Amino acid sequence: MKKMISLLCFIVVVIITTAPPPSSSSSSNGDLQNSSRVKLVDDYILRVANDVGFGDWMKNIRREIHEYPEVGFEETRTSSVIRRELEKMSIAYRWPVASTGVVATIGSALPPFVALRADMDALPIQELVEWEHKSKIDGKMHACGHDAHVAMLLGAAKILKQLENQLQGTVVLIFQPAEERGEGAKEMIKEGVVENVEAIFGLHLVVSSDSGVVVTRPGEFLAGCGCFKALIHAKTASSNPILAVSASIISLQHIVSREADPLDTPVVSVAMVDGGSHDDTLNVIPESVSIAGTFRAFSKKTFYALGQRIQEVIKAQAGVYGCWCVVDLEGNEYPSVPPTVNDKRIYEHVIQVSNAIVGKDNTQTTQPFMGSEDFAFYLEKIPGALAFLGMRNAKAGLVHSPHSPYYSVDEQVLPTGSALHATFAYTYLFNHFNQSLLTI
């Protein structure tokens, strides 16, 4: 019976969405018709996503991926699961992209192009959650929800494939490796995955909001995260790199307290100092000492200026104490990730989609988060927006933060995530098509 209802709803969608566009002389009627079409599609997407069998299918995919976690650029098994499911749905894809990534397309194969992205890498963490589908790989775990992100995007693919004949353009599905390393998005961009793409949407599960709540904001959303490492070396026998390092650490703290805009919220942290011998020799000054740390800021201008200032401060203090130094800000070991800045126009579209899928009461605009996401690299290239989907469920004990060995996912939100992805893409293309008609 449920399948019959879904089929009937789909037939209604096909009939209405393929009706002739309204004439320009009846714009009010056209707006009403367009609104009705979108509403019917939203309802259809929700019906499909909330079907029990559909939800179970996504759970099984998520659990299969969870049992065999793979870290950045090693996601061969994960990508094989993705490709298997895409092939079952007769969805064309390109692989490998950026070593292990997969890029699929649904629709007319013509512009406009809109992209949906899911990251798929795990973390080098030993899972401590005891359950049937616990990680089978020692020292590796999906502790940030990327297994669920893949399942939700595959769910969206299944929905969009059923609506393919009504897509007024092409949807690009990006299954990206190595987000945790801060390198995956950059490598995907290098391989041209967002060429000709007009807008991109990303979704990330969080425990900071209750299950089913969508959280986002326009403009600056997540902080940029940069890393620095410096080696300070004595020039002469009388030089003391320990003093140079000490002065550098104190001066670095003054950047935030004395130089930064008090209305901005940059952070500079020295987290490592390494120097001297390790054999209890206390009367020998080392030839060199190294320090390392991180810096964060929400503003792109502040973020990049902060990195430059860190380099200037360390080099200056090294010179004062008769030392030379090398400062690494290129992120060779820990790549820097810029601030995540949502495009305001795409943000508005996300809000409209979220209102339709989870309701206005469950759609929230939030303050910026100090965390980082390499989705930011896409946003430097094309307009887009990142949103959070809450999955906090205190009764079920689903309260542990990402990167915790006790992290677990509320699988009940998987259908919501797939519906958000699918609705974002469908309605973006639909709106773009109708706006194009008005300019003819």
List residues forming the annotated binding site for Mn(2+): 144, 146, 180, 204, 403
β-pair partners for 393:
398
Half-sphere exposure of 318 (CA within 13 A, CB side): 23
N- to C-terminal Cα separation, the chain: 44
Going by the annotation, the residues of the binding site are 144, 146, 180, 204, 403
> Measured at the alpha carbon of residue 435, what is the angle toward residues 429 and 438, in degrees to the nearest 5?
150
Q: Structure tokens of 377? A: 């690299």
CA–CA dist 198, 380 (Å, integer): 13
